[in-house]
Amino acid sequence: MEKQNDLVLKVRNLRLYFNTRGGPVQAVDGVDFDLRKNEATVIIGESGCGKSSLAKAILRLLPRNAGTYDGEIWLHDMNIMNMDDETYRKEIRWKRISMVPQAAMNALNPVMKIGDQVAEPAMIHMNMSKEDATKSAVRMMEHVGVPVDFLHRYSFELSGGMRQRSALAMALVTLPDVVILDEPTSALDVLTQASIMNLMKRMKKELETSFILITHDIATSSELADNVAVMYAGQVVEVSDAHRFFHQPLHPYSHALMASVPRLRETIEPEFITGQPPSLLNPPTGCRFKDRCPKRFDKCDEEPPTVLVDVDRKVKCWLYV
């Protein structure tokens, strides 16, 4: 499509393996996806499919046992995989790509005032003075709907929703190009969750920011998604725009995943997926979903290619070759 110029982040063949006593764990194994300006790409997958490792790989927050780590991550026209760690830390992390970690509401520092915490990234990464940083913190807190007098409160004085908003303000205060949200609403109540989603929809329009939303909750993911990438056993098995994906998923796994969502407004019986995802220590050859797939055939024992089915729709499955 003609939107190429708007590409903010382009991930190609990204791999992150962890070394363990049993051998390398292929947590992220050849992941490709794109992110455009003012859009959100949702990474959907079950626990253990490597979606949080993908976030770590993009932000280069690698644990000590990280082994193979390669591929390309293009931020605008720059391949940030070629940077050394120090330049990456100074130029990219939090300045250009920031993150709201899982259970961010409990990740706030209990002995620091909220205002100081929100201002801190601006001071460290943007070299702002304390006054300027506080000013932009106030601006960002207004943006995300935290009352300004919360500036001088501590995190335990805030409700879950307000803490989540503060964590979001922290990630946004440096006005990064990309914000990675790792399960941003999973620990919140229904109403709070919906209002945080409302807020993020608004942020996406108002700020020059793109979001990567990592979640296992398919219903909530549709609240923010412009594009969807489905991960299974360390690989992306389907990439699509949200509209076509939620209407008609292509990969048999996406299909099964969508069918497993209990619906509130429809009476279709949800279905579950039999079996378990494979171990990432020694993933099966060929398609990794084949043992659970209802549409398995002989070809599936070979590694499936990624097929471009339609404009901007890719699926890693032999059925579409």
Partner 1 sequence: MTDTITETSTAEQAKNGQALVQIKDLHVWYELKKFGFSHAGYVRAVDNVNFDLNYGEAIACVGESGCGKSSLMKTILGLNIPTKGDVIFDGEPLTQTKGENLRRYRSKIGYIQQDPFGALPPFMNVERILEEPLIINGVKDKEERRRRIEKILEEVKLTPIAEVLPKFPHMLSGGQQQRVVIARAMIMEPKLLVADEPVSMLDASVRVEVLRLLRKLQETHNLAVLYITHDLSTVRYFSEYIFVMYAGEIVEFARMDDLLDDSKHPYTHALLEASSDPNADNALVQREIPKGEPPSLVNPPTGCRFHPRCPQFMPGICDVKAPPNIEVSPKHLVACWLYDENRGHAF
The contact set with partner 1 (CB under 8 A) reads: 40, 46-47, 159-161, 189-195, 197-198, 201-202, 216-226, 242-247, 256-258, 260-267, 269-273, 276
Angle, helices 160-172 vs 114-126, to 10°: value is 20
263 vs 295, beta carbon nearer partner 1 = 263
248 vs 285, beta carbon nearer partner 1 = 248
Contact 41, 33 (CB under 8 A): yes
48 vs 67, beta carbon nearer partner 1 = 48
**226: number of Cβ within 10 Å:** 17
Least spacing, CB of residue 39 vs partner 1, in Å:
10
Residue type at 213 in one-letter notation: L
The contacts found for 276-280 with CB under 8 angstroms, 24 or more apart, are 277/46, 277/48, 277/49, 277/232, 277/233, 278/233, 280/25, 280/26, 280/27, 280/29, 280/48, 280/50, 280/233, 280/234
Q: Is beta strand 178-182 parallel, antiparallel or unpaired with respect to 97-100? A: parallel
Least spacing, CB of residue 69 vs partner 1, in Å:
27
| d(C-alpha 261, C-alpha 231), whole Å | 17
| d(C-alpha 164, C-alpha 192), whole Å | 10
| d(C-alpha 146, C-alpha 119), whole Å | 14
Q: Is beta strand 313-316 parallel, antiparallel or unpaired with respect to 235-241? A: antiparallel
51 vs 93, beta carbon nearer partner 1 = 51
64 vs 265, beta carbon nearer partner 1 = 265
Residue type at 287 in one-letter notation: C
68 vs 192, beta carbon nearer partner 1 = 192
Least spacing, CB of residue 274 vs partner 1, in Å:
8
156 vs 272, beta carbon nearer partner 1 = 272
Least spacing, CB of residue 130 vs partner 1, in Å:
31
Least spacing, CB of residue 81 vs partner 1, in Å:
30
**CB under 8 Å to 153, separation ≥6 — which residues?**
113, 114
Least spacing, CB of residue 43 vs partner 1, in Å:
14
Q: From the DSSP assignment, how many helices (H) and strands (E) are in the chain?
A: 9, 12
Least spacing, CB of residue 201 vs partner 1, in Å:
6
